């Protein structure tokens, strides 16, 4: 562990010899220990370590990096692949293909990352295999394979992912979404957004979208969709997204942009939801117990930013989203106090919306038998009728 501290530290007289020894001696034990620290090191520290290892490589020792293929890390795979290709060009390709064909998942993931650097005309023979490993349960292998398929402009794998979006199964659709996001298929964005609106995995899908298109670009293309994606992302914290996502997605800058936009009913819904969520995160130590200092400071910063917004001003706009066709209605409902406004939604043809309204009325202690009977007149699904009857 002392060597890890030196390698990740700030003193060149300490980290340079360790990095050089790591490469020169193919120190698999030290590299394995480094990989185990992935979850505990800040991104900038891992970037520094990658650069230090890369600097220690030369034409006489670079092949020693092949010894590290058993210990996969997304923090070092690009560096390792780049070093191997820098010193060998495409000449190492037969060796890497052999590793890809016969290695374990970690070996394959490194091998595929190397493929992303080579002449794509030399990869035609392994495209069918890349389509297979793109579906691997080992996510790094899947992601790296999709990246290469995208570079090869492989339409067959892309079309198969698009077909998954047509499935009746939400999990199959989500697999298609993840593939297309990693493929960087921006032309599938509108289809993905539409699926997000109607899926039981809406939050999961929303969390993928920023990896396909930056928030600023999404705002320029479709402001309403951008706000809806953010609503689902905020709603995903902390059950699906950890609190650290606030830092990873730079949500503070995102919220600052939304605040500076002309206030609309949809942006009011987002800001109201975010204000409630980050106030809860900031006031409940249980949510932040395992978080690092940077995450805690980011949550505090966002909470301070959102707390300055006039809640009454936001609430006055929420009622404009209280109609069945609104994409924001489910989020707005949580902040509406007017009972009559809530009850008007019981005429909806959406049984899930009716159930949500009844649940809120019950929480407020104003759910009556008359209201339930009114709701049941518009619900035909047996499973939802059963839930309503026992409310």
Residue 285 sits in the same domain as residue 340: no
Domain boundary among 292, 322, 352: 322
Can you give the pLDDT at residue 226? 96
Residue 318 sits in the same domain as residue 341: no
Can you give the pLDDT at residue 376? 80
Question: Would 385 be classed as within a structural domain?
Answer: yes
Residue 306 sits in the same domain as residue 374: no
Residue 245 sits in the same domain as residue 344: no
Residue 273 sits in the same domain as residue 359: no
Residue 243 sits in the same domain as residue 315: yes
Q: Name the stretches of the chain with pLDDT < 50.
A: none
Can you give the pLDDT at residue 1? 55
Three-state DSSP string of the chain: CHHHHHHHCCCHHHHHHHHHHHHHCCCHHHHHHHHHCHHHCCHHHHHHHHHHHHHCCCCCCHHHHHHHCCCCCCCCHHHHHHHHHHHHCCCCHHHHHHHHHHCCHHHHHHHHHHHCCCCHHHCHHHHHHHHHHCCCCCHHHHHHHHHHHHHCCCHHHHHHHHHHCCCCCHHHHHHHHHHHHHHCCHHHHHHHHHHHHHCCCHHHHHHHHHHCCCHHHHHHHCHHHHHHHHHHHHHCCCCCCCCCHHHHCCHHHHHHHHHHCCCCHHHHHHHHHHHHHHHHHHHCHHHHCCCCHHHHHHHHHHHHHHHCCCHHHHHHHHHHHCCCCCCCHHHHHCCCCCHHHHHHHHHCCCHHHHHHHHHHHHHCCCCCHHHHHHHHCCCCCHHHHHHHHHC
pTM of the model: 0.88
Residue 297 sits in the same domain as residue 359: no
Question: Would 84 be classed as within a structural domain?
Answer: no
Can you give the pLDDT at residue 286? 80
Domain boundary among 300, 322, 344: 322
Question: Would 239 be classed as within a structural domain?
Answer: yes
Taking Cα atoms as reference points, which of 271, 262, 251, 256 lies closest to residue 314? 271
Can you give the pLDDT at residue 385? 82
Domain boundary among 322, 344, 363: 322
Question: Would 380 be classed as within a structural domain?
Answer: yes
Residue 274 sits in the same domain as residue 234: yes
Question: Would 79 be classed as within a structural domain?
Answer: no
Question: Would 136 be classed as within a structural domain?
Answer: no
Can you give the pLDDT at residue 344? 87
Residue 307 sits in the same domain as residue 232: yes
Residue 257 sits in the same domain as residue 304: yes
Question: Would 15 be classed as within a structural domain?
Answer: no
Residue 312 sits in the same domain as residue 279: yes
Instruction: For residue 222, give its domain range.
Output: 214-322
Can you give the pLDDT at residue 42? 82
| Number of domains composing the chain | 2
Residue 271 sits in the same domain as residue 244: yes
């Amino acid at each position: 562990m002392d060597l890890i501290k030196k390698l990740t530290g700030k003193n060149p007289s300490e980290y340079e010899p360790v990095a050089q020894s790591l490469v020169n001696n193919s120190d698999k034990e030290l590299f394995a220990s480094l990989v185990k620290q992935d979850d505990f090191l800040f991104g900038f520290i891992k970037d520094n370590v990658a650069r230090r290892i890369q600097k220690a490589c030369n034409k006489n020792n670079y092949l020693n990096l092949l010894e590290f293929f058993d210990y996969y890390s997304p923090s070092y795979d690009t560096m390792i692949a780049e070093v191997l290709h820098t010193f060998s060009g495409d000449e190492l390709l037969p060796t890497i293909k052999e590793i890809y064909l016969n290695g374990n998942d970690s070996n394959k993931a490194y091998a595929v990352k190397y493929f992303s650097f080579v002449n794509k005309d030399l990869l035609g023979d392994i495209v069918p295999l890349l389509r297979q490993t793109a579906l691997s349960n080992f996510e790094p292998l899947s992601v790296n394979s999709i990246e290469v398929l995208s570079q090869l402009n492989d339409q067959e794998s892309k079309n198969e992912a698009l077909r998954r979006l047509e499935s009746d199964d939400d999990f199959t659709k989500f697999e298609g979404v993840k593939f297309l996001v990693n493929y960087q298929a921006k032309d599938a964005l509108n289809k993905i957004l539409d699926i997000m609106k109607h899926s039981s995995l809406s939050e999961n899908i929303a969390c993928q979208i920023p990896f396909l298109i930056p928030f600023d670009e999404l705002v320029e293309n479709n402001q309403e969709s951008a706000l809806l994606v953010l609503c689902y992302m905020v709603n995903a914290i902390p059950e699906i997204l950890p609190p650290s996502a606030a830092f990873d997605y730079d949500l503070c800058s995102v919220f600052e942009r939304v605040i500076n936009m002309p206030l609309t009913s949809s942006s009011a819904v987002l800001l109201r939801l975010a204000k409630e969520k980050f106030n809860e995160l900031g006031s409940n130590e249980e949510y932040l117990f395992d978080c690092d200092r940077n995450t805690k400071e980011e949550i505090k910063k966002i909470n301070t930013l959102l707390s300055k917004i006039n809640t009454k001003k936001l609430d006055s706009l929420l009622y404009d989203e209280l109609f069945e066709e609104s994409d924001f209605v489910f989020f707005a409902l949580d902040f509406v106090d007017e009972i009559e406004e809530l009850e008007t939604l019981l005429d909806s043809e959406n049984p899930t919306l009716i159930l949500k309204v009844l649940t809120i009325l019950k929480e407020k202690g104003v759910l009556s038998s008359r209201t339930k009977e009114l709701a049941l007149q518009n619900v035909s699904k047996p499973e939802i009728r059963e839930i309503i009857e026992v409310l």
